[in-house]
Amino acid sequence: MKIGTVDIPTQIALAPMAGVTDLAFRTVCRELSGCYTISEMVSAKALCYGDKKTASLLKLGPEEHPAAVQIFGSDEACMEKGAALALERSGADILDVNMGCPVPKVVNAGDGSALMRDPDKAVRVIRAVIRGAAGVPVTVKFRLGWDKGSINCVDFARRMEDAGVAAVAVHGRTRTQMYSGTANWDYIREVKQAVSIPVIANGDVFAGKDAARILRYTGADMAMVGRGVFGNPWLLSQCTAAVAGEEIPPLPPLSERVKVAGRQFALALEHKGERIACLEMRKHYAWYLKGVPYAAYWKEQICRMETAEDFAAVTRGILRDLC
């Protein structure tokens, strides 16, 4: 599959998720599956104001190619400049634009999925981004529409294609649904039938067979995996196997999962320092223990981690008591 001029050697993508898909987690996912990755969403306005914390979100790993970085915003001049800055600082192969984020803080500023309520403005924004990207392929991620009474994803996709985007990713829910209910794949199929650029299908891929099913049902070119990877980066390799018609590998034993959690923590430690790595790893490490019998005590200890030694002590305890 090609996105613009960029060859993508996989049909499985890791969805960009704020506070989750940082460099450490993306690296682990790529190492396990070779999936296509996209950065956490980055504010174009913050980039224009020179915010250092925001700029750090753009860092890609040395082996993380092809990959995209994602920006969001609704001010045309800022999005044009932000696109150029994001690509300059990241060296990304593709630039993605978030027009699907449903959280109030984002939509109340007119960003994310709020742009689906004003397609004319969305087109102006995307044209500005394309100018700023200066030849680097631009993609857009959006939802079905604002609510069930204003589903406009098919027309929105056509307008994005006409504006010059290289691919679209569609989450099968409306903004008002947030992440509740069931993703509607019918509309993703309609988008695929309406445009000639690649379509990435997103929503309710929680097992390997779901990836194969969403591609078969919608005709999409790629399946994007989101919340299902929380504590389970192996889902991506299971999806890859299912799409290829191969035997789906089982979830590895807990000892291996703990080892991968350690790898992720080591990467976070390197990139963010001890304090931030420990704070952010609390949720990830707890996710790795999801469904593990008798893990409640160790989840409590995980939530108290403040140092690398705390992480090591918790890991020793888990290996001793639960493996």
The catalytic residues are: 101
CA gap 26, 39 in Å, rounded: 8
Cα R_g (the chain), whole angstroms: 19
Angle 298-249-38 from CA coordinates, rounded to 5°: 75
Cα distance between residue 190 and residue 60, in whole Å = 34
Q: Which two tokens stand for residue 301?
A: 């200890």
170 in Cβ contact with 157 (< 8 Å):
yes
CA 299 to chain centre: 25
Give the Cα separation of 142 and 163 in Å (integer).
15
Is the link from the previous residue into 66 a cis peptide, with omega within 30 of 0? yes
Contact between 103 and 151 under an 8 Å Cβ cutoff? The reply is no
Q: How far apart are the first and last CA of the chain?
A: 41
Contact criterion met (CB below 8 Å) for 8 and 222: yes
Residue 321 token pair: 């008591």
Q: How far apart are CA 148 and CA 65, in angstroms?
A: 37
